[in-house]
């Protein structure tokens, strides 16, 4: 069997394995070993290569960025950062039509800058925002859609676990990717806010006009000045982490350590962290970090197998022979990512598709940092797309009988369309993602 045919079959087998429930790292390891065995004809060579991949795949100091930002996200949850961000913005926007929905978007954007995990944001704001919006007369599906859509900001606004993963797989600067995600993240939050205002203008029943007259969206004690003072530590922490990366004072790894330490101090000062809670956070950080690092080891092996199969080279030659405009090829890749996002989780999509797409994108002369933002946006659309929609199912699990999966998917539809709009803007205007990295 030709090596490139084995490469194509390996992709199909990985997709099937993940869909039927086999863990992505197990699927990548087994299929890589078998694929290399079939290509090279010797079972011992891929076994030795796996050992090499396990050592060199995560030996680099830069990989410690993973547990640092995961720890930062967990400590941010405990510190109450999400509740404070929501209370402040809700208080400031309480007289604006749809103010609580816009507050959810803004609070999610602030929270995204210290956690970077969409599912965590969705679960957190399902408990914080939904009861308040329902209590003030907001349509339930509209409220659920707002929470689901705005939680996507967690994977785009840095620090983002997916941007870290993309940087590792693509061998691109994580700092540059973080900077590249800032403006598209702000654009997406702005489009969401404008979209909410337009929906409320044409369908006042979505909020029943109560947001215009009800001044107690949050406790009266939350006066603007006091609220901003309470939000100041979060904003300082965000400025410290991202500013340190931008100015070159910190590497992304060092910034993760500074952020984790800062959120630890914040949680202790607010008396939100107990000894048992800290132990639980450390255990969860270890579980998630080891899982991610194991995935990176097996992804390294899978990437080697695809390279030896010559599949990326064959694909480059095939697409080049089609004489298609490069932007059309990018659009085709985006369509593939969106479709996969409807049935697979984000990490699996990155690890399965990037070893094939990146050589093609690089050969066409596109900037890989820009393509990283395009790819993350396309993949994140899948988080609220049926039938998989990990964010939707995370919200359903959090809310239990208070919301059905169908209600969340229906409410998310307008935000799904707005995400496609922003994705189109980022593709059409690369400067949105490349301007900040270009200044560094």
Is 155 or 431 the better-scoring residue by pLDDT?
A: 431
Q: What is the DSSP string of 161-202?
A: HHHHHHHHHHT--HHHHHHHHHHHHHHHHHHHHHHHHHHHHH
User: Which among 110, 249, 125 has a CA at the least distance from the CA of 185?
Assistant: 110
- How does the average pLDDT of the chain come out, rounded? 81
Cβ neighbour number for residue 281 with a 10 Å cutoff: 21
Q: What confidence score (pLDDT) does residue 415 get?
A: 93
pLDDT, tens only, 339-397: 777 767 677 788 778 888 888 888 888 999 999 999 999 988 888 887 667 788 778 87
What is the distance of C-alpha 79 from the center of its chain? 21
List all residues 6 or more positions away from 97 whose beta carbon is below 8 Å from its beta carbon. 197, 200, 201, 204, 207, 209, 211, 212
The C-alpha atoms of residue 117 and residue 238 are separated, in whole angstroms, by: 15
Q: What is the DSSP string of 11-27?
A: HHHHHHHHHTT--HHHH
Is 306 or 417 the better-scoring residue by pLDDT?
A: 417
The C-alpha atoms of residue 238 and residue 246 are separated, in whole angstroms, by: 12
pLDDT, tens only, 274-293: 888 888 888 888 887 787 77
The stretch 63-75 carries a mean pLDDT of 77
Is 56 or 128 the better-scoring residue by pLDDT?
A: 128
Q: What confidence score (pLDDT) does residue 227 get?
A: 59
* Distances from the Cα of 308 to the Cα of 4, 7, 35, 440, angstroms: 9, 9, 10, 36
Best-predicted range by mean pLDDT among 59-63, 125-129, 317-321, 423-427?
423-427
Q: What confidence score (pLDDT) does residue 400 get?
A: 79
Q: Delimit the domains of the chain by residue range.
A: 3-439
Tokens matching residue 253: 């790894």
Cβ neighbour number for residue 248 with a 10 Å cutoff: 9
pLDDT, tens only, 158-167: 878 788 888 8
List all residues 6 or more positions away from 105 whose beta carbon is below 8 Å from its beta carbon. 146, 149, 150, 153, 189, 192, 193, 196
The C-alpha atoms of residue 342 and residue 385 are separated, in whole angstroms, by: 5
Asked if 19 and 343 count as a contact pair (C-beta separation under 8 A), the reply is yes
Say yes or no to pLDDT of 69 above 60: yes
Confidence at 258, pLDDT banded by 50, 70, 90: confident
Say yes or no to pLDDT of 408 above 80: yes
Q: What confidence score (pLDDT) does residue 434 get?
A: 92
Asked if 253 and 70 count as a contact pair (C-beta separation under 8 A), the reply is no
Flag whether the pTM goes above 0.75.
yes
Q: What confidence score (pLDDT) does residue 59 get?
A: 67
Say yes or no to pLDDT of 248 above 90: no
The C-alpha atoms of residue 149 and residue 81 are separated, in whole angstroms, by: 19
The stretch 311-328 carries a mean pLDDT of 76
pLDDT, tens only, 179-223: 899 899 999 999 999 999 999 988 888 887 544 444 444 444 445
Report the percentage of the chain scoring pLDDT > 90: 14
Cβ neighbour number for residue 193 with a 10 Å cutoff: 21
The C-alpha atoms of residue 106 and residue 189 are separated, in whole angstroms, by: 7
């Amino acid at each position: 069997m030709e090596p490139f045919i084995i490469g194509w079959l390996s992709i199909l087998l990985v997709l099937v394995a993940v869909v039927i429930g086999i863990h992505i790292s197990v699927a990548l390891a087994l299929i890589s070993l078998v694929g290399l065995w079939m290509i090279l004809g010797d079972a011992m060579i891929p076994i030795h290569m796996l050992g090499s991949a396990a050592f060199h795949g995560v030996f680099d100091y830069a990989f410690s960025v993973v547990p640092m930002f995961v720890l930062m996200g967990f400590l941010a949850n405990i510190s109450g950062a999400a509740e404070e961000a929501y209370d402040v913005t809700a208080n400031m926007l309480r007289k604006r039509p749809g103010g609580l929905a816009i507050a959810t978007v803004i609070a999610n954007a602030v929270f995204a800058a210290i956690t970077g995990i969409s599912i965590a944001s969705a679960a957190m704001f399902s408990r914080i925002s939904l009861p308040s919006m329902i209590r003030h007369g907001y349509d339930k599906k509209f409220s659920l859609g707002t929470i689901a859509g705005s939680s996507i900001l967690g994977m785009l606004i840095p620090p983002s676990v997916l941007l870290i993963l993309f940087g590792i797989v693509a061998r691109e600067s994580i700092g540059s990717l973080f900077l590249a995600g800032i403006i598209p993240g702000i654009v997406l939050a702005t489009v969401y806010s404008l979209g909410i205002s337009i929906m409320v203008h044409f369908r006042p029943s979505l909020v029943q006009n109560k947001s215009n007259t009800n001044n107690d969206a949050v406790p009266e004690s939350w006066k603007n000045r006091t609220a901003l003072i309470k939000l100041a530590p979060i904003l300082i922490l965000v400025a410290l982490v991202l500013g340190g990366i931008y100015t070159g004072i910190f590497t992304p790894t060092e910034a993760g350590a500074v952020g984790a330490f800062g959120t630890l101090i914040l949680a202790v000062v607010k008396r939100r962290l107990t000894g048992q809670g800290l132990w639980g956070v450390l255990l969860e950080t270890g579980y998630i970090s080891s899982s991610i690092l194991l995935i990176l080891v097996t992804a390294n092996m899978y990437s080697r197998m695809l390279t030896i199969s010559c599949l990326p080279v064959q694909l480059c030659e095939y697409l080049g022979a089609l004489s298609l405009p490069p932007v059309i090829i990018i659009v085709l890749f985006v369509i593939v990512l969106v479709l996969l996002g409807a049935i697979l989780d984000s990490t699996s999509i990155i690890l399965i598709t990037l070893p094939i797409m990146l050589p093609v994108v690089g050969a066409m002369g596109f900037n890989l940092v820009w393509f990283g933002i395009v790819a993350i946006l396309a993949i994140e659309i899948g988080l609220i797309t049926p039938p998989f929609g990990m964010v939707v199912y995370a919200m359903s699990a959090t809310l239990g009988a208070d919301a059905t999966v169908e209600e969340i998917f229906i409410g998310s539809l307008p935000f799904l369309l707005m995400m496609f709009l922003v994705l189109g803007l980022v593709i059409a205007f690369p400067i949105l993602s490349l301007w900040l990295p270009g200044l560094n």
